[in-house]
Structure formats: C-alpha cells, structure tokens
C-alpha cells in the first residue's frame, strides 16, 4: 500500500473512536482503545496464520521453501 492509502485507512478507523468535542484525557483514552483494538486484530490474524499451512496456486520453489521454514511443525 502507498503511504497515503495507509494514512487514509488509519484516519478512517480513528473516526469511529474520536470526536471533536473530547478533552485531551478523553482523546488519549479513545486513542489507546483504538490502538488496542488494532493490536488485538493483528494478534488474532497472526494466530490464525499459524494454525494452517499456506496453499499456493503457483508452485514456486522459493515459496515452498519459505513455507517449510516458517510454518510450525506441529500443524
């Protein structure tokens, strides 16, 4: 993604948490909650990725090797 797309995406997600009539303490409480939600979503995505083996549409040796190296053996 381009930096402008990332910025717009982040700004859009913040709009759901922030309002213009908040004082500084409320602002930081809402901002912290939005960051916590982002972290929670990222942690869930990371966990979900560790629970399956990636399936590729194209058989590229480099991707197959990366899958073998970075996927846990206990799956």
Domain that holds residue 32: 3-70
Q: Contact at 8 Å (CB) between 72 and 50?
A: yes
Task: Give the distance from CA 2 to its chain's centroid.
Answer: 16
In a domain, 33, yes or no: yes
pLDDT for position 75: 53
| Helix intervals (H) in the chain | 3-15, 24-50, 61-70
Tokens of 50: 């560790």
Q: Contact at 8 Å (CB) between 45 and 38?
A: no
Number of compact structural domains in the chain? 1
In a domain, 36, yes or no: yes
In a domain, 75, yes or no: no
Tens place of pLDDT for every residue, the chain, 75 residues?
A: 577 887 787 777 777 767 778 788 988 888 898 889 989 999 998 888 888 777 778 888 888 888 788 877 765
């Amino acid at each position: 993604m381009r930096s402008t797309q990332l910025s717009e995406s982040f700004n859009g997600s913040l709009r759901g948490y922030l309002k213009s009539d908040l004082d500084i303490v409320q602002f930081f409480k809402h901002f912290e909650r939005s960051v916590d939600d982002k972290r929670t979503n990222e942690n869930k995505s990371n966990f979900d990725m560790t629970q399956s083996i990636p399936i590729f549409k194209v058989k590229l040796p480099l991707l197959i090797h990366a899958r073998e190296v970075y996927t846990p053996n206990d799956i």
